[in-house]
Structure 1
């Protein structure tokens, strides 16, 4: 099980701390605390339960509790247990998922040049820390900064938290690799690298060592479009950049972004943006 976050905005750090429970002690029972609660055990073991789901967190492991559910102790600690906790939240969309999902921002249907690069990342609900000592150091530094009055302490905390989150999401991506989505991701990367060239389904198949129909099926699942549609949309976005940032003739822009003919470029550009290339350039270049 994983948490799926859509960004921007990125999840943000709120506060953190540490506790030591003697043998026989219990974690507090709480409900709807409104923030994600990241627990990292450094010694001993925590035995929790969240809405019936058991979460055992031995030393060197972590678990993330949801902000909208109740959690309590499943059984008391069997030995002295030291753990660190961290509260974070996000203003963006999030959900729970059992498999990794790719995400492609909706196609730009208007003439606007403004483009926000939206992406998703996955963080495991629980597991073993991929780099324990580094994670411990980051959590300790967060505590130190919490007590410090130095300028920029809050900004530094956010930076450290993002490093910790990146470490956890890297582990989540490796543990939840869907073969079809992985192939779609590989195909998309190849198309982005090769957008200036004439790419055929046969060539795509030879490069990825899969039948073209299967690659198309995987890309439909991941991005909601065929490889050709994906390539065309990417070429249009690159053409927008050239139309605004260069004075190259429109025909040269079409050629530089992989379009076979000038007329085909104009038709595709108008279809995806609602305006012709010349009008688009005039809007942003006075």
Structure 2
């Protein structure tokens, strides 16, 4: 299972600490605590259950408990157990899922926004390869709790984001083991590099050395769209930038953005932004 968070805003740090349980001790049973509870065990083992699913959290493993669920101990500690805990929350959208939900590309009409949002993913439970670094970050967070200054609070949020990046990197490492992820990334990089040129499915297939149907499946799983939809949206973003920052005629901008047909460019631009190119240019130039 993984958590998918949509940002902005990024999740924010609240409080952290550490505990040592002796043999026979139990983690408290709780329900709907209102915050995410990140647990990182350094020695021993915790035995927790959330929504009927059991998790064994060994030394070097982590578990993130939901803010809106019930969790309890299904077995007391079998030996001395030390763990860090950290509470965080987000006011942005989030979900828990078995696999990644396709990334949603922005369709904003604003010239300075290419992606309104981005998603990042954190594994709910598993072994953390950078557990020593994660422990050091949490210890720094604990030290900063002793200072009431706004600078300390700001530093805490920075450290929180560093910690999230460790977990994100862990999930990225897992994802990169899946062939569809690597193929989709290669395809996206190719399309970004060749957006000014005519690109066909056959050309894409020859460049990637995979059948076009398989490439489309990989792109849909990773980005939530086909290769040509990805290419069209990227071209539209380039056109938006040129409309705002240059005095080029709209026909020339269509060519520079990779659209071989002017009427097709107009149709695509209206579909993705809700404006005709000239109206878009006038709107944002007059607002500067």
Pairing of 1:109-258 with structure 2 (within 5 A): 111-113=109-111, 115=113, 116-176=115-175, 178-258=178-258
Q: Do the aligned residues in 1 keep the contact of 2:32 with 2:70 (CA within 8 Å)?
A: yes
Give CA deviations for 1:13-34 in whole Å, capped at 9, x if unaligned.
Answer: 1110111112221111111101
Identify if the C-alpha distance between structure 1 residues 151 and 99 changes in structure 2 by more than 3 Å, giving closer, same or farther: closer
Aligned to 2:50: 50
1:134 shift after superposition: 0.8
1:261 shift after superposition: 3.8
Mapped partners of 1:261, 1:123: distance in 2: 43
Mapped partners of 1:85, 1:221: distance in 2: 33
Q: Do the aligned residues in 2 keep the contact of 1:130 with 1:168 (CA within 8 Å)?
A: no
Q: How many residues align?
A: 284
Aligned to 1:21: 21
CA RMSD after TM alignment: 2.1
Identify if the C-alpha distance between structure 1 residues 151 and 216 changes in structure 2 by more than 3 Å, giving closer, same or farther: closer
Pairing of 1:57-72 with structure 2 (within 5 A): 57-72=57-72
Identify if the C-alpha distance between structure 1 residues 30 and 271 changes in structure 2 by more than 3 Å, giving closer, same or farther: closer
Unaligned runs of 5+ in 1: none
Normalized against structure 2, the TM-score is what?
Answer: 0.90
1:176 shift after superposition: 4.3
1:147 shift after superposition: 1.0
Identify if the C-alpha distance between structure 1 residues 17 and 225 changes in structure 2 by more than 3 Å, giving closer, same or farther: closer
Aligned to 1:89: 89
Unaligned runs of 5+ in 2: none
Mapped partners of 2:103, 2:138: distance in 1: 30
- What SS is found at the alignment partner of 1:247? coil
Aligned to 1:9: 9
Aligned to 2:265: 265
Q: Do the aligned residues in 1 keep the contact of 2:48 with 2:54 (CA within 8 Å)?
A: yes
Mapped partners of 2:273, 2:101: distance in 1: 27
